Structure 1
């Protein structure tokens, strides 16, 4: 290469130098830029799918976790099964026969379950729901041949005691409240208040007694007798179930036994309403001989967020109608409950 050619090449390189510096500034990066871009593209595709799957998993967890494949496994190890009966015994509540009866059966069907304990903390409720659980327990005792016990925590009264009476044995804490073998139906009357306010009640019925328990009408002696007969019949069924379930252990000639009184645990033991003091764990270890506890209680029904947070005219209307329906049910339906 001649000197002239070398000088020309050097001149061309000097012209390219600014362009090269500019290109390097614009395209400056590290060796990780390529993988980072690939990862960003991957995230854009995967994250939406992960979000949807997460929502599906959450919905299953809050409704019924046993539907998950790793949660619905059969318990084969030796254990004591238990089901919680908690709160008012009513359709749609946690203590609903349609929820608890299948749970009891699943517990007894499990290969490793040695016995079932119904853990009770309830003031009672619907006589129909209580009787359904009582009868189911009687059938399960015969069908599966496994002992079924009940243990009362804070309170096991009225309809809750009705259910407990069907088990092989009833145990309680020394401070538990037990009994209340009676039936109640309570309401209010507003007839004089309506007169004072000058408010006229307009009711249209087909059937002379369709409005027999309307709180804005006075209750006639005939209707009062009729309703008392209904309560007496329900009470008699309750007493029969308790005698059938408890047998000869009940105290004889105790006039207050079926009067609706509620008892402390020691008094209940003396009256034959329970078989002793104990807890879920003591029953599992001392009576069953299987200390491992497995909970078969179904999860609480998930009502979503809209019912508690959403405010709309339609939602308010539905809430008012639902509340009025529940009030009507509580006023006009006999209840096996320790509270009005």
Structure 2
């Protein structure tokens, strides 16, 4: 009798159907974010990841990634949460690269047991970057006097309104080397036995999906639908898992504040959003996107 009832059940409840939850991790990686812009952080992705890994009958979770990177801390936190959930729920993780999985985006991608990319995807950029501007000459020209009072001689290290100091740059470079080594160790651990012997692998260069396959940065070329149906059968269903949404967007308060329509709060949020948007645009433009 149960066999005759199968066609009447939803696809996810049929014995002959495999349902794979799909999570989209798209955007630059940075803490905070708002309903107006799509960025990635642990706070913003934890809920949707938990939901995806809670599908009891699903043998795996599929993650679609499209990110130019950003915060190394948030990248590693998201990576760690995916691996912890995979171990806790005993599920495979398949990562599918769309346009880009670079820098912190690639750090998240290596959380996958297998990484599948399009031949024209961009992968890699295993490095660390810090970019800023120097405004000390500009404020002189417009007649602005910079006044800074600190307790601690290094509290204004790399201040953009002061001349750059060699010792500050040396300290920053040491910090970057530490972060870079953490990234390298993680890639070597997750891609053990797969990486090609190439001197440029950890220099910050990035490659197409085709070249990434040759270097061992990805496991296969293809797309999500074809890969999952090839792995689990033609009746495989993909279920997109999305975060809960309020009436007017991802958050009920568009400006991330309890101040309602307070003009000062709106102006502050708008200014912060503009700076973040410029930073995000710079991340994407590094890869011609």
**Common fold: TM-score over 0.5:** yes
Aligned to 1:92: 32
Measure, in 2, the Cα distance between the counterparts of 1:323 and 1:104.
26
* Aligned pair partner of 1:261 in 198, 205, 220: 205
Pair 1:295 & 2:240 matched: yes
Q: 1:321 to 1:174 in 2, by over 3 A?
A: closer
1:96 Cα deviation from its structure 2 partner: 2.2
Alpha-carbon offset, residue 194 of structure 1: 2.8
Deviation at 1:222, TM superposition (A): 0.9
Q: In the alignment, what sits opposite 1:279?
A: 223
SS of the residue aligned with 1:125?
A: coil
Give distance in 2, aligned partners of 1:316 and 1:97. Answer: 25
Take 2:92 and 2:173, find their aligned partners in 1: how far apart are those partners? Answer: 38
The equivalent position to 1:322 in structure 2, one of 248, 251, 272, is: 272
C-alpha distance 193-92 of structure 1, shift in aligned 2 (>3 A): closer
**TM-score relative to the length of structure 1:** 0.68
CA shift for structure 1 position 116: 0.5
Partner Cα separation in structure 2 for residue 299 and residue 86 of structure 1: 16
Whole-angstrom CA distance in 2 between matches of 1:338 and 1:255: 25
Give the match's secondary structure for 2:151. Answer: coil
Shift of 1:203: 1.2
Deviations 1:89-110 (A, max 9, x none): 1223442222323322322221
| Structure 1 position 190, deviation (Å) | 1.5
Match of 1:249 among 194, 206, 214: 194
Whose helix fraction is larger, Structure 1's or Structure 2's?
1
Give CA-to-partner distance per residue, 1:155-200, whole Å, 9 cap, x none: 1111111011121000111111111111111100012223333432
Rounded to whole Å, the distance in 1 between the matches of 2:45 and 2:262 is 34
Judge conservation of contact 2:47–2:243 (CA < 8 Å) in 1: no
Q: Is the 8 A contact 2:101 2:124 kept in 1?
A: yes
Inter-CA distance 258–293: structure 2 relative to 1 (3 Å threshold): same
Aligned to 2:4: none
Q: Does the CA-based 8 Å contact 1:107-1:113 persist in structure 2? A: no
Q: What is the alpha-carbon root mean square deviation over aligned residues?
A: 2.9
Structure 1, unpaired ranges of 5+: 1-72, 332-336
1:2-42 per-position Cα deviation (integer Å, ceiling 9, x unaligned): xxxxxxxxxxxxxxxxxxxxxxxxxxxxxxxxxxxxxxxxx
Residue deviations 1:122-171 (CA, integer Å, cap 9, x gap) = 11111111111211222233222221010000111111110111210001
Given the superposition, is the C-alpha separation of residues 200 and 317 from structure 1 closer, same or farther in structure 2, using an over 3 Å criterion?
same
Residue ranges of structure 2 left out of the alignment (5+ in a row): 1-9, 34-38
- Shift in Å, 1:279: 1.1
Q: Report the secondary structure of 1:248's partner residue.
A: coil
